[in-house]
């Protein structure tokens, strides 16, 4: 029985988890840094504990402080949210060692998926399609040359401990391979303390499509369809859609069958997301995320399932209680990530929010911890609100989102709202015709079009 949950996070996601707790009759404990004493996630929690000074490493990443907060408040379970400690296998292990329930997968599965090579090996055995590439880590430059000659150029060297694009290097032609290999290894070592790298065929114009799953402790696994997360800038997602504008219901069913059967084979538990690259009609698995994701609300809107509630039920030992046939999809959902950043330079804009007026109406959801008078601190991620719309089809979702953006007032700090409005006005976005490179080009075009452009 889970009666009290400590939420090891801040901002909108801490609030999101609290809301699920409240609806389930579960008490919530907020933790916060001294910089977040006046934040909404602290105000609305049943209890709160200050766990340290502003830098995340001293507060939201401070494992002893978080475990102590759980102990003194008598929490039964810890929800890590996303970011911070959410994919730290040692943290999950320590949570369990101290007698708390970790609301997430087993530490072993978190560790496995943190190693991109181990993740791919596991998925290969379970029948999930991969990008052609090296069989595990590359032991030498000579082996890299050999694999590249076999799979053909262009190739990509990736860090085993990577993810999010760090330590990744392309070699378009054989001449570029030695340097790509060297730089990828050096960067991986510096960023992750691990210089293991592997190789994949480089896909030049894929879409990024991910599948959401839930698994209970009794071998039941269901999927909740896909999200198209191709619109990214420097590996930061900006706008996500469910479903993908390019996937048919039959393709969704087939990919869903592949991933649910794989995760049954793995004995996976709780929420997870499998990331795929989609190009030329083929899906290729690249990574798995073992956490609740920022963009989970669009999946909730099209499937009408509260994913956080399901995570908590699963962690309590409850069976899912339904099978795949009970999961149905309705309409289309889009999320805009609104950051406290200059919409042209993407430089963070911490400061005082003087006016806050969120949009409303049918099919509009705002996940945010903002309020008028809130001061956005300079220490953390710049995401300040997620604007999510749901409508019967994609065209109506776009119309609703444009309307909602025009209603949204956040005054005092610059935000990325104007960029979202421009994306939604673009004909190729409206046609659903985009790859992972679309947004970088779009932003470069906007910069070139500005009157003061050099
Ligand atoms: C790739 C790829 C092309 N080919 N792998 C970037 C981050 C990491 N999660 C995987 N990434 C990529 N892997 C192969 N074999 C292109 C990317 C990539 C990318 C992927 C998803 C979303 C945005 C991206 C932006 C640049 C590169």
Which residue CA neighbors atom 19 of ligand 1 most closely? 436
Same domain, 257 and 404: yes
Beta-carbon count within 10 A of 163 CB: 22
Domain identity same for 312 and 387: yes
Query: Is 94 among the domain residues?
Result: no
Beta strands of 94-144 (E only): which ranges? 101-102
- Indicate whether residue 441 lines ligand 1 (CB < 6 A): no
pLDDT at 453: 62
Ligand 1: which of 157, 436, 439 to mutate, judged by most atoms within 8 Å of the beta carbon? 436
Predicted local distance difference test score (pLDDT) of residue 342: 97
Check which CATH number belongs to the domain holding 256 and give it.
3.30.470.20
Closest ligand 1 atom to residue 436 Cα is 23
Are residues 227 and 191 located together in one domain of the fold? no
Asked if residue 134 has its Cβ within 6 Å of ligand 1, the reply is no
**200 Cβ inside 6 Å of ligand 1:** yes
Q: Are residues 284 and 351 in the same domain?
A: yes
The domain containing residue 336 runs over which residues? Answer: 207-449
**Which of these three, 182, 201, 220, is where a domain ends?**
201
pLDDT in tens, the chain (454 residues): 999 999 999 999 999 999 999 999 999 999 999 999 999 999 999 999 999 999 999 999 999 999 999 999 999 999 999 999 999 999 999 999 999 999 999 999 999 999 999 999 999 999 999 999 999 999 999 999 999 999 999 999 999 998 777 889 999 999 999 999 999 999 999 988 899 999 999 999 999 999 999 999 999 999 999 999 999 999 999 999 999 999 999 999 999 999 999 999 999 999 999 999 999 999 999 999 999 999 999 999 999 999 999 999 999 999 999 999 999 999 999 999 999 999 999 999 999 999 999 999 999 999 999 999 999 999 999 999 999 999 999 999 999 999 999 999 999 999 999 999 999 999 999 999 999 999 999 999 999 988 876 5
Query: Has residue 120 been placed in a domain?
Result: no
Same domain, 368 and 304: yes
Beta pairing class for 77-79 and 27-33? unpaired
| Residue minimizing CA distance to atom 6 of ligand 1 | 165
| Cα 203 to averaged position of ligand 1 atoms, centre (Å) | 8
Ligand 1 near 156 CB (within 6 A): yes
The answer to the question of residue 92 being in a domain is: no
Same domain, 219 and 160: no
292: in domain: yes
How many domains is the chain built from? Answer: 3
**Nearest in space to 320 (alpha carbons), one of 306, 337, 338, 340:** 306
Pocket test for ligand 1, best of 117, 165, 439 (most atoms within 8 A of CB): 165
Q: Assess whether 190 and 233 both reside in one domain.
A: no
Task: Identify the residue whose C-alpha is closest to ligand 1 atom 16.
Answer: 203
Show the beta-strand stretches assigned E in 166-216.
169-171, 197-201, 207-215
Ligand 1 pocket check for 278: Cβ under 6 Å = no
Q: Please identify, by atom number, the ligand 1 atom nearest to the C-alpha of residue 204.
A: 3
Whether residue 43 lies inside any domain: the answer is: yes
Residue 275 alpha carbon, nearest atom of ligand 1: 9
CA 166 / ligand 1 centre spacing (Å): 10
Where in the sequence numbering do the catalytic residues fall?
291
Check whether residue 267 and residue 290 sit in a common domain: yes
| Model confidence, pTM | 0.97
In a domain, 98, yes or no: no
pLDDT in tens, 193-247: 899 999 999 999 999 999 999 999 999 999 999 999 999 999 999 999 999 999 9
Could you tell me if 365 and 291 lie in one domain? yes
């Amino acid at each position: 029985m889970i009666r009290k949950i400590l939420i090891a996070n801040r901002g909108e996601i801490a609030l999101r988890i609290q809301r699920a707790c409240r609806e389930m009759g579960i008490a919530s404990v907020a933790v916060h840094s001294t910089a977040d004493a006046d934040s909404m996630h602290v105000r609305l929690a049943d209890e709160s504990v200050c766990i340290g000074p502003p830098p995340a490493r001293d507060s939201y990443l401070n494992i002893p402080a978080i475990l102590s907060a759980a102990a003194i408040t008598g929490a039964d379970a810890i929800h890590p949210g996303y970011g911070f400690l959410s994919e730290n296998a040692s943290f999950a292990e320590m949570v369990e060692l101290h007698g708390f329930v970790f609301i997430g997968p087993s530490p072993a599965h978190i560790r496995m998926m943190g190693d991109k090579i181990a993740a791919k090996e596991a998925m290969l055995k379970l029948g999930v399609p991969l990008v052609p590439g090296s069989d595990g880590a590359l032991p030498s430059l000579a082996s890299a040359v050999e694999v590249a000659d076999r799979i053909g150029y262009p190739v990509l060297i990736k860090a085993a401990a990577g993810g999010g694009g760090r330590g990744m290097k392309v070699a378009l032609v054989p001449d570029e391979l030695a340097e790509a290999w060297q730089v990828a290894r050096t960067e991986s070592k510096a960023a992750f303390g691990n210089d293991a790298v592997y190789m994949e065929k480089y896909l030049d114009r894929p879409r990024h499509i991910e599948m959401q799953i839930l698994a209970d402790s009794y071998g039941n696994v269901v999927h909740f369809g896909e999200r198209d997360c191709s619109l990214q800038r420097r590996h930061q997602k900006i706008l996500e859609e469910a479903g993908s504008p390019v996937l048919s219901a039959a393709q969704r069913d087939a990919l869903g069958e592949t991933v649910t059967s794989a995760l049954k084979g793995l004995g996976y538990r709780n929420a997870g997301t499998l990331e795929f690259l989609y190009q030329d009609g083929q899906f290729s698995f690249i990574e798995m995320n073992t956490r609740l994701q920022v963009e989970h609300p669009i999946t909730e809107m099209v499937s009408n399932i509260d994913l956080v509630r399901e995570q908590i039920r699963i962690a309590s030992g409850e069976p899912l209680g339904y099978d795949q046939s009970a999961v149905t999809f309705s309409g289309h959902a889009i999320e805009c990530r609104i950051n406290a950043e200059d919409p042209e330079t993407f430089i963070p804009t911490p400061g005082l929010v003087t006016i806050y007026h969120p949009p409303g109406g049918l099919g509009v959801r705002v996940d945010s911890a903002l309020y008028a008078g809130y001061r956005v601190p300079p220490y953390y991620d710049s995401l300040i609100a997620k604007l999510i719309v749901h409508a019967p089809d994609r065209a109506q979702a776009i119309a609703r989102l444009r309307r909602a953006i025009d209603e949204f007032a956040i005054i005092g700090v610059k935000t990325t709202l104007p960029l979202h409005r421009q994306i939604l006005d673009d004909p190729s976005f409206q046609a659903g015709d985009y790859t992972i490179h679309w947004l970088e080009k779009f932003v470069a075009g906007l910069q070139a079009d500005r009157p003061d452009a050099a």
